[in-house]
Structure 1
Amino acid sequence: MLTMENIIRDGHPTLRKVAEEVVLPPSEEDKQILASLLEYVKNSQNSEIAAKYSLRPGIGLAAPQINVSKRMIAVHLTDDKGTLYSYALYNPKIISHSVEKAYLQSGEGCLSVDEAIPGYVPRYARITIKGVTLEGEEVKLRLKGLPAICFQHEIDHLNGVMFYDYIDKNDPFKPIEGAIAIER
């Protein structure tokens, strides 16, 4: 089982690398890694398990965050309508996105970043992604709101990009013109 001990912190070189594509069909090791990413995110949202194992709650986790430079992510969250998005994906890719932007009003956080870094992170308001599930089927997801932001955050990890790279250093809370503010 993954714990906070397995998660590498900001400044670790793996977090700035572009991760390798996962060769499909995946190896048993890759299947276990991807399953463990999803298990961590789910466990971290269960208050009893999180307390017992000192897990910091998260809604997404990417393989580079556990020092595995491969294109795998796991996301487990509900949108504002209560729809559950629970996915563990190999080689996720954004295949289209809106011109319109969105951002989380509260800012973004990251399991690999211990301190809060305040500021708005501009993201695409709507995205379509493709990836391959743990079960080996190709999926295409159309996302908006918090799920779209979460998937973009995790896919960025696969490209060596951290959320704070997008924050305006001179004016972290500068309004993002025409963007949708999303409450979390």
Structure 2
Amino acid sequence: MILMKDIVRDGHPALRKKTSNMTFPLSAADQQLAADLLEYVINSQDDEMVEMYKIRPGIGIAAPQVNEDKRMFAIYLIDEEDKEVSFVAVNPKIISHSVEKTYISSGEGCLSVDEVIEGYVPRYTRITATGFHPDGTAFKMRLKGLTAIAFQHELDHLNGVMFYDHINKVNPFADIPDAVPYDRV
């Protein structure tokens, strides 16, 4: 089980490295990592688990956040239509995206960043993504809203990019052209 002590913090070199593609079939260790990443985000949204294990809530976690050079992340959330979104993405890519952008008006956070960093993080409103499930089956998903935002945040981790890299350094709350705020968080 992944605990807060296992999550590397801002400044750790693993967070700034582009991860390596994974090959299939995944090793037993990589399959376990996939399961552990998903287990963390599920547990982190359960108040009892948060209290018992002193973990921080999150909707996504990427392998580099646990110091693994693997192109993999897990997402677990309840979307705008109150549907459960739960998956592990291996070797994910965004193959197309909307022109329209969005941002979470209260800002983004990260399990690897302990302090609050204020500002708007521009993201595409809708994306089409491809990749693989841990069992090797391919997927193609059309994502919007919070799921699209989370996918982009986690994909950034696989490329050594932190959410605050996208924030306007001069004016963190500057209007973002062609953007509509996302407020359901």
TM-score by length of 2: 0.97
Structure 2 residue aligned with 1:168: 168
Write the mapping of 1:133-144 to structure 2, written as runs, cut at 5 A.
133-144=133-144
1:73 aligns with 2:73: yes
**CA displacement, residues 47-76 of structure 1 (integer Å, 9 cap, x when unaligned):** 001110001000000000000011000000
What is the alpha-carbon root mean square deviation over aligned residues?
Answer: 0.8
Structure 1, 173-182 or 7-16: larger mean CA deviation = 173-182
Structure 2 residue aligned with 1:96: 96
Structure 1 position 136, deviation (Å) = 2.6
Write the mapping of 1:1-184 to structure 2, written as runs, cut at 5 A.
1-183=1-183, 184=185
Query: Hey, what's the Cα distance between the residues in 2 that align with 1:4 and 1:116?
Result: 17
Query: Hey, what's the Cα distance between the residues in 2 that align with 1:27 and 1:48?
Result: 32
Letter of the 2:128 partner, please give it. Answer: T
Letter of the 2:115 partner, please give it. Answer: E
SS of 2:109 mapped into structure 1 = coil
SS of 1:175 mapped into structure 2 = coil
Structure 1 position 137, deviation (Å) = 1.6
Query: Hey, what's the Cα distance between the residues in 2 that align with 1:11 and 1:159?
Result: 15
Letter of the 2:68 partner, please give it. Answer: V
Letter of the 1:13 partner, please give it. Answer: P
Query: Hey, what's the Cα distance between the residues in 1 that align with 2:84 and 2:140?
Result: 16
**CA displacement, residues 104-124 of structure 1 (integer Å, 9 cap, x when unaligned):** 111100000000000000011
TM-score by length of 1: 0.98
Structure 1 position 25, deviation (Å) = 1.1
**CA displacement, residues 67-110 of structure 1 (integer Å, 9 cap, x when unaligned):** 00110000001111112110112111111111111111111000
Letter of the 2:29 partner, please give it. Answer: E
Structure 1 position 134, deviation (Å) = 2.5
Runs of 4+ off more than 4 Å:
none
Aligned length: 184
Q: Percent identity, aligned pairs only?
A: 57
Query: Hey, what's the Cα distance between the residues in 2 that align with 1:124 and 1:42?
Result: 25
Letter of the 2:133 partner, please give it. Answer: T
Query: Hey, what's the Cα distance between the residues in 1 that align with 2:42 and 2:119?
Result: 27
Structure 1 position 143, deviation (Å) = 0.5
Letter of the 1:163 partner, please give it. Answer: F
Structure 1, 10-19 or 174-183: larger mean CA deviation = 174-183
